[in-house]
Chain A
Amino acid sequence: MTSVMVSRIRRQQIAQLIADGKRLDGRGLKDYRSIQIESGIIGKAEGSARVRLGKTEVMVGVKIDVGEPFSDRPNEGVLTTNAEFVPLASPEFEAGPPGEESMELARVVDRGIRESKAIELEKLCIIPGKKVFVIFVDVYVLNHDGNLIDASTLASIVALMNTKIFKYEIKDGEIEKKPGFSPLPLRDIPISVTLASINGILVVDPWLDEEEVMDARLTIAFSKDGRICAIQKGGSGTLSPQQIIEAANIAKEKSEEIREIVVKS
């Protein structure tokens, strides 16, 4: 429903080019757009990052609070991921309560981080069953030019990598802040790679016009050891089982390239 109108002739052009192994923006089918990463850009946030994926731009801020653990995980910190489609990011975005697309985005980003066990949540317990650190990851979409999932996952993990937690001690069951910070304990760097299927052909990192034309998209996130940690299919088309396996293999290769960029940044 949130569709920027792509004219029929442009649709045809995009699909025909892809059939010839080319793309409208000059990339090859398996090329990712250029990635620019900045980290620690918001001083008030405990962790932050801005990622540009071509013209797509996403900012993530991490805030840390103390709260109650979930009843079934009394010894673990809590991760909360939220995504905002800020109205300045696209003519299609409107202010107001989050829509299904922003909820899906937040949940897919969350899934990659959670299922790879990237954050050592068991180290974020303060008083078992009572007080734990709550990590808020807020995804802020600033410019939408396609593939928000990958840009947001990337920005989130970079923000978490530079997140600091205040030092504390417990006095009479109360938490007392001490000077200094320690880094958020991380054990993994999940990377997601999204592909679109356009007339049955897979392309990596679809930009907005390609997302308008695609039959379906498939996002696959990988943990450091090359295992898949999250998958989400989107769009109202279908994929064949063969395409899914092909996509997983391409995505794995791409995720390794992207992880190298993240580690170097």
Chain B
Amino acid sequence: MTEKIVLVNEDGIRTDGRKLSELRPIKLEVGILSNADGSAYIEQGKNKILAAVYGPREVHPRHMALPDRALLRCRYHMAPFSVEERKSPAPSRREVELSKVIREAFEPAIFLEKFPRTSIDLFIEVLQADGGTRCAGVTVASLALADAGIPMKDLIVACAAGKAGGHLVLDLNDIEDKEGEADIPVAYMPSFNAVSLLQMDGLLTIEEFQQAINLALEGCKQIYALQKEALKAKYQAIKESTEVTEEE
């Protein structure tokens, strides 16, 4: 077997130079695809993920339509070139499961009852994966939904915490996810203090788990602020462009 990788050094610094409770650099952009009703892009560390929303629109196939609310459909998908070894483009069992839990993370936030007999289709495409793609995917999908003008109770924001190299860490990267002791992705509605996605793999005592959840929620709150900024930035840009035309 290969040598054990040092995930956290004596100074509490991680493989990518971060402190234990530090997020990776995050870049968010809103409204970047012209065909979609709403779209957004995220870079979180080396993760590069696109999200797009179509809808509310007519449901196909029609028999899937719900009489009292919109049908939310979600597809989380990884590009074949997004990982080290080529991934088959056919949806894997992992992708099917993640699509389900991400959909369930958004259902409590969207006012689906406002759009009966329609569908809202949410697509998340991972272009490059570096650990924590489901969380970054949720964060960016939330912006795409807001960009599409879909009414929501709150933005959903997601972040993982876990244990790597014997320490509790925030926002695990790929190596920490694979070689670390535990990973807990959490999706959260900050205004309601409500968790809408929660998974864990690895081994943690209940005390460690409790601390890790709190760490993840702190991370969520930081990203939540970035989400709001990104949304405002889009409209600020539109405002500035109109101001310029008026001057002319």
By a beta-carbon cutoff of 8 Å, the part of chain A in contact with chain B is: 71, 75, 100-101, 103-104, 106-107, 111, 114-116, 218, 223, 226-241, 244-245, 248-249, 252
Contacts and interface: CB of A to CB of B under 8 A. Distances in A.
Nearest to A238: B194
Nearest to B183: A115
Contacts of A249: 206
User: Nearest 9 pairs between A and B by C-beta?
Assistant: A236-B107, A238-B194, A231-B200, A233-B198, A100-B100, A238-B196, A103-B93, A115-B201, A227-B203
Interface of B: 1, 85, 93-94, 96-97, 99-101, 103-104, 107-108, 184, 189, 192-206, 209-210, 213-214, 217
A118 to B, nearest CB: 12
A240 B198 contact: no
Contact of A228 (B1, B103, B206): B206
Contacts of A230: 200-201
B195 A104 contact: no
8 contacts: A75-B1, A228-B204, A228-B206, A229-B203, A231-B200, A233-B198, A238-B192, A241-B213
Label chain B's interface by main secondary structure.
mixed
Nearest to A73: B1
Contacts of A232: 101, 198-199
A241 B214 contact: yes
Contacts of B205: 226-228
B170 to A, nearest CB: 16
Given A229-B203, A233-B197, A233-B198, A238 B108 contact: yes
A248 B200 CA distance: 12
Nearest to B107: A236
A114 B194 CA distance: 29
A38 B203 CA distance: 29
B96 A100 contact: yes
Given A107-B94, A115-B201, A228-B209, A239 B104 contact: no
Contacts of A227: 203-205
Nearest to B66: A1
A249 B206 CA distance: 8
A236 B73 CA distance: 13
